[in-house]
Amino acid sequence: MWSENDIPISPVSISDMVRLVEKRDKVKVIRFDVAEPYFPPPEKALESTCKAVLEGYNRYSPTKGLVELREGLKNFLEETRSVSYSIDEIIVTPGSKFSSYCVFASLLKPGDEVLLLTPFWSSFKAIPMLLGIKRIKEVLTDPLYKVNEERFQNAITKRTKLVVLNTPNNPTGGILDKSDLKFIVDLAAEKGFYILSDEVDWAYTYDGHVHYSPAALSNGFERTIITDSFSKVFCMTGWRVGFAAGPRNIIDKMNVIQQHTVTAPVTFAQKACLDILLEYKEYVKTVVSSALRKRNMVVEGLKSITRLESTPPPGAFYIFPRDRFMVNSETLAVELLNKAHVAVAPGTIFGEGSEHNFRICYAIPDEDLKEGGERLRVFFESAST
Ligand SMILES: Cc1ncc(COP(=O)(O)O)c(C=O)c1O
């Protein structure tokens, strides 16, 4: 049995510390820690949610999610990922975090091994730990989440059951290109492991980079479970609607877990998600171009802090600078919060090899971005002298 101190912290828990510091110092903390785009959700989502409540979308939906929404998601996945699923191969869950939980719980038994490409989103380690899985292996990627083929291949064993990919990646903003994915998918077919492909930030790609799903590659479809969400690309974190698509037998198992835990996602929230899928392309374009502008602002701002090293990330809405001096990123995060009133996520929660890094989420208002950048500059300047 685990104790809560064994489980890696989730970045969402940093909010409690921020509240304490804001109360103590009577100052607004700049929140680079939250993995939540601040952009407003589509107008239609607001109207549709209210309308759906009044129209009677107030009872349990089918446990796999509203049939109409799964039909909408089938088209959406064809358009955005070039993969074709039947609606029985799609399940809607309360957020993609719960989709991930159900994938781990459906596939793994004690003794199985999970491989995480490092740096990884901390829940990918926490969830199998909560399920009592002991063999969780971290495979370090090269900078910006580039797969190191030799390291990856050496990490695969007979016990490897699941490999977790997250492209675009939280926390680095790196993207797996087609050749990375092809290498992994071919090994999956040869060795018989599954791939959990977290694609929640699929639209956030810049500088000509493109998002590919491993499910779209030959050999990939049968071995991949995609998880995705309305949280990040549609900025609807509070609706708690995510989904997964994959082989029917796995999706059916996930459905059993859903039936015995949360029953189904919120029905009127699902109706709003269905309505926005009817017309989403312009909205997504606007959000992504705003994110790109902010990425450029943050990249420019960080250039003036010589202690920090970073490369412009090609995707997501994070940057993961490395501090040349600091030994421990947790100490750095605590100091930044207490002294500079800036909240960041320390690198240590994203796995081995990131002890000198910290994560900045730059999808925040411009004025906060500027103020936070200035506080960081002053902090590092005074800490270096
Ligand atoms: C990579 C990644 N996957 C999944 C999630 C969870 O999103 P959801 O709101 O859909 O549960 C997050 C949220 O931070 C994330 O960063």
- Residue-range domain boundaries for the chain: 4-40+282-384, 44-279
CB atoms within 10 A of CB 217: 19
Q: Which residues of 166-181 are buried (b: 16+ CB within 10 A; e: fewer)?
A: bbbbbbbbbbbbeebb
Q: What is the CATH code of the structural domain delimited by 4-40+282-384?
A: 3.90.1150.10
Cα-to-centroid distance, 100 and ligand 1 (Å) = 9
| Mean pLDDT, the chain, whole residue set | 95
- Say if ligand 1 is within 6 A of residue 95 CB: yes
Between the CA of 331 and the centroid of ligand 1 the distance, in Å, is: 25
Ligand 1 mutation pick, 123, 125, 234, 273, max ligand atoms within 8 A of CB: 123
Both tokens assigned to 148: 């190191």
- Among 38, 92, 97, 239, the mutation site with the greatest number of ligand 1 atoms within 8 A of its Cβ is 97
Residues whose CB is less than 8 angstroms from the CB of residue 131 and which lie 6 or more positions away in sequence, other chains included:
104, 105, 108
- Confidence (pLDDT) at 3: 77
Task: State how beta strands 135-140 and 113-118 pair.
Answer: parallel
Residue 200 CA to ligand 1 center (angstroms) comes to: 6
Q: For ligand 1, atom 14, which residue shows the shortest CA distance?
A: 35
- What is the spatial distance between Cα 347 and Cα 364, in angstroms, rounded to a whole number? 20
Res. 316: pLDDT tops 70: yes
Report CA(25)–ligand 1 centroid distance (Å).
31
The tokens 């300047």 sit on which residue?
381
pLDDT digits (tens, 9 = 90+) for 1-28: 667 777 877 777 788 899 999 999 999 9
The phi and psi torsions of 6 (rounded to 5 degrees) equal -80, -20
Please report, rounded to a whole number, the percentage of residues in the chain having pLDDT higher than 90.
92
- How far is ligand 1, taken at its centre, from the CA of residue 237, in Å? 9
* Confidence label for 385 from pLDDT (cuts 50, 70 and 90): low
The pLDDT, as a whole number, for residue 5 is: 75
- The one-letter code for the residue type at 117 is L
Say how many Å lie between the CA of residue 351 and the centre of ligand 1: 17
pLDDT at 118 over 90: yes
* Separation between Cα atoms, residue 196 and residue 145, nearest integer Å: 16
Q: Which helix (H) or strand (E) holds 331?
A: helix 329-335
Query: How far, in Å, is the centroid of ligand 1 from the Cα of 35?
Result: 8
Average pLDDT over residues 75-102: 98
Ligand 1 centroid to residue 176 C-alpha, Å: 18
Each residue of 333-350: pLDDT tens digit?
Answer: 999 999 999 999 999 999
Mutate to test the pocket of ligand 1, among 170, 225, 350 (most ligand atoms within 8 A of CB): 170
Residue 282 has pLDDT above 90, yes or no: yes
Kindly give the number of the ligand 1 atom that is closest to the alpha carbon of 121: 1
Question: Is there an atom of ligand 1 within 6 Å of 237 CB?
Answer: yes
Does the 44-279 domain belong in CATH 3.20.20.70?
no
Model pLDDT for residues 204-253, shown as the tens digit of each residue? 999 999 999 999 999 999 999 999 999 999 999 999 999 999 999 999 99
Distance of alpha carbon 103 from alpha carbon 12, whole angstroms: 22
* CA terminus-to-terminus distance, the chain: 47
- HSE at residue 379, side-chain half, CA atoms within 13 A, is 22
Yes or no: say if 247 and 222 are a contact pair by the CB < 8 Å rule.
Answer: yes
Length of the chain (residues): 385
**Residue 35 in contact with ligand 1 by CB distance below 6 A:** yes
Q: What is the pLDDT of residue 2?
A: 65
Centre of ligand 1 from the C-alpha of residue 296, in Å: 23
Cβ of 354 less than 6 Å from ligand 1: no
Q: What is the mean pLDDT of residues 344-358?
A: 94
